[in-house]
Amino acid sequence: MPSRRKLDEHRHSIEEIRDIMNSMKTLAYMETRKLDHLLDTQHAVVDSIEIVAADFVSAYPGSIPEMQAAREVYLVIGSERGFCGDFNETLLRRLEQFQHDRQDKDFPVLVVTGQKLHASLLNNPHVAARLDGAGVAEEVEAVLTRVVDTLAALQAQYGTLTLCALYHAVDDDTLVTQQLLPPFHDYLDRPPLFSLPPVLNLEPTDFLIELSDHYLFAALHEIFYASLMAENRRRVRHLEGAVKHLDEESDALRRQSNARRQEEIIEEIEVILLSAASLKKTLPKRP
């Protein structure tokens, strides 16, 4: 059995790790509170753009270009940091299943964000770009700039693109595949919302281009915020389990240390008693 000093040193190390993980859990929880507000705001922005788009498409359906052959691009949003359970592994399993289902078709070009996801896709030939992800909400803006620059480079290389995002949803913690480009095709079959078309200051085609740019940027904001929220929620759950496990291990070590201390006390008492008995035998008897 380890000595009491070794047990106490081990317990002290575990308690230090526990405090670090508990701090990380607190920071992740604080991030979810911040993202909750940002998501509400961004969702309202996307909803307003979609309402405008539905009104526009119902009045000017001819401005929507016909679907044509285009290079598929998938934006896969992983995590920049760890301690979030199987967040990235779930994305990898979906990509593997997707590749298995499309053996006879061209596999999409992948744009991957998040350092923790990069490591598992280093040798994947379909990955066109590996971008740093967002660790906190304030970094999303910089990530989107890199994503847009990458998409522009791919468009210059392949021509027309279709873009889908693969990411973790917030509510039910499942994966979502959302098409972003080309936008608004789902609105073509909807009846007009109003009897008169909206008054435009631009040509319908020019208006559609401007609206599509705004929609793409707003939707990407919402998607990255949602993914970051799901990541931090998983991180909170993962670290809660780790902290609980470390607390249990620390308690077990404390019990072992107390038991070892009791054994040492008993051994000390036995030594004292034996010493007293030996001393009594060596002392001369009184007359």
pLDDT band at 196 (very low <50, low <70, confident <90, very high): confident
- Quick: pLDDT tens for 68-100: 778 999 999 999 999 998 999 999 999 999 888
What pLDDT sits at residue 38? Answer: 95
- Quick: pLDDT tens for 238-271: 999 999 999 999 898 888 888 888 887 887 787 7
- Quick: pLDDT tens for 41-57: 999 999 999 999 999 99
Domains of the chain: 26-187+200-238 (3.40.1380.10)
- Quick: pLDDT tens for 116-136: 999 899 889 999 999 999 999
Which positions ≥6 away from 204 have C-beta within 8 Å? 56, 60, 62, 63
What pLDDT sits at residue 9? Answer: 87
